[in-house]
Amino acid sequence: MADLPRRWRRRFPILEHTTYLNSCSQGALSDRVRAAYARYLEDWDELGSPWDLWVGKEVEAREAFARLVGARPDEVAVTGSVSHAVSTVVSALPIEESRDTLVYTALDFPTVGQIFWAQERRGLRIVEIPEGPDGGVDLAAADRLVDERTALVSFSLVSYRNGARLPAAELVGLARERGALSLVDGYQGLGAIDVDVGDLGADLLTGGALKYLLASAGVAFLWCRSELVGRLVPTQTGWFADEDIFAMDVHDYSPAPDARRFQAGTPPIPSIYAAVAGLGIVNEVGTRAIETHVEELARRLVEELEELGATVATPKSPQVGPLVAVRCGDAEGLVTALRGEGIVTSARDGNLRVSLHLYNDDTDLDRFLTAFSAHRTYWG
Ligand SMILES: Cc1ncc(COP(=O)(O)O)c(C=O)c1O
C-alpha cells in the first residue's frame, strides 16, 4: 500500500515542503485541480458565456459523485454545501402530527443540529442522541430515543470532533425499524472510506468536495434513494430544481422528477470544475484502496501515540481512520507549534486532529510523532 503515496505524492506540490495531515479540514491541492481552475478561466475568457459547456460540467460532477458512492446519477443533486443539502431534505419531509421529530447525534457537525433546532420554530420536536462513554454514539440511548414519532434520523459517518466512526448499520436499521428516514452526513469520510449506498442502506447521503474529495469549497451533493425521490417535495427550492430549468415560468412550481429537485439556484461552476478534477483522482484510485491504506496508517498512529503515553480520543472500533484525535490541554497551541515546524494539523473540542489520505505515508507519521513527542508541554 506504500505504493499509493509513492504514485501520487508528486501530484500534490505542498507535500514537497510540508507534512500535510489536515485533509479533515481541506484536501491538499493537486496539479489537476489547479489546472481545472485555470481551464475554467480559459473557457470563460475564450468562449464568453458557454452555458452548455458549464451545464455539461455539472452533469460530469453529478456522475462523479454517483460513481463515488455506487449510485445512479439521477439519484444525485449537486448542491452548494452540505448545509443546503440538509436544509432542503428537512424542507421536503412530509411532517404529520404523529411524525414530527428530527433526531441527530451529539457527534454531528453543528450545521445539522442548527438546521434541526431551527425547525423547532415550525413546531417540530428535536431530539439529540448523546455521546457514549467511549466517545462513540450511545446506542442504548438511540434505541430509546428513536421512536414512532421520528421522521428523520441524521448522523455523521465520522465525527469531526474525535474521528469516531459511527455504527451506520445499527443507526440506519433502527430508523427503518421505527418507520423513520435516515440521512448520513458523510463529509468526514467520503473519499477515504469506501461507501456504497446499496450496502449503507440509508435513505439519504450527503457530502462535500473540499476535504477527502480533494477539491475546494462551494460544491457538495445529496444522494436520495430513487424510490423516495418522488415522496420528498422540497419547499426550499429554486429554478435549477425545476423539471424544465429554462421554462422560466414564474407562476409554477414543478420540481424535477429526479434528485435534481433538491438543487436551488445557478450551480457553483468554478467549484464544479475543481470537483470533477478532485473526485476524478479519488475515483481513479478507488476508495477501497484508499481506505485500506488510510486504516493501516491510522492503526500505526494510534498504537504509537499510546506507546508515547498520549490519550487517543478516537474510539478504536468499529474501525479507525481517516481522522485520529488526541486529547490535548492546549490543542490550539500545539497546532501552532507544529505549523512552525512545517506540520499541518487542526484542533477541535480539546483534541488535536491528525487526518490521513492517499498521499500520506510513514515518513509523515515519523515526522509528526517525533515533533508531537517533543511538545509534551501542550499535552496536559
Ligand atoms: C461532518 C461535516 N458536516 C458538514 C460540514 C459543513 O458543510 P458545509 O459547510 O458544506 O455546509 C462539515 C464541515 O467541516 C463537516 O465536517
- For the segment 58-101, what is each residue's pLDDT rounded down to a tens digit? 999 999 999 999 999 999 999 999 999 999 999 999 988 899 99
- The angle subtended at Cα 283 by Cα 363 and Cα 11, nearest 5°, is 40
CA-wise closest residue to 108 among 156, 142, 146, 141: 156
Residues in CB range of 135: below 8 A, 6 or more apart: 162, 164, 313, 314, 315
Chain centre distance of CA 174: 22
Helices (H) and strands (E) in the chain, counts: 13, 12
Pocket test for ligand 1, best of 84, 87, 159, 160 (most atoms within 8 A of CB): 160
Q: What is the pLDDT of residue 380?
A: 85
User: Is the peptide bond preceding residue 167 cis, with omega within 30 degrees of 0?
Assistant: no
Pocket test for ligand 1, best of 109, 159, 195 (most atoms within 8 A of CB): 109
Residues in CB range of 57: below 8 A, 6 or more apart: 269, 272, 273, 276
CA-wise closest residue to 355 among 370, 335, 330, 340: 335
Domains and CATH numbers, the chain: 3-28+286-374 (3.90.1150.10), 33-283 (3.40.640.10)
Instruction: Name the DSSP class of 76.
Output: E
Nearest ligand 1 atom, CA 210? 10
DSSP string covering 330-365: THHHHHHHHHHTTEE-EEETTEEEEE--TT--HHHH
> What whole-number distance in Å separates Cα of residue 161 and Cα of residue 319?
16
Residues of the chain whose pLDDT is less than 70? 1-2
Q: What is the pLDDT of residue 1?
A: 56
Instruction: Say how many C-beta atoms besides its own lie within 10 A of residue 194's C-beta.
Output: 18
109 touches ligand 1 (CB under 6 Å) = yes
Q: What is the pLDDT of residue 260?
A: 98
Q: Do you know the residue count of the chain?
A: 380
187 touches ligand 1 (CB under 6 Å) = yes
Q: Whose CA is nearest to atom 7 of ligand 1?
A: 82
Torsions phi, psi for 293 (to 5 deg): -65, -45
pTM assigned to the model = 0.98
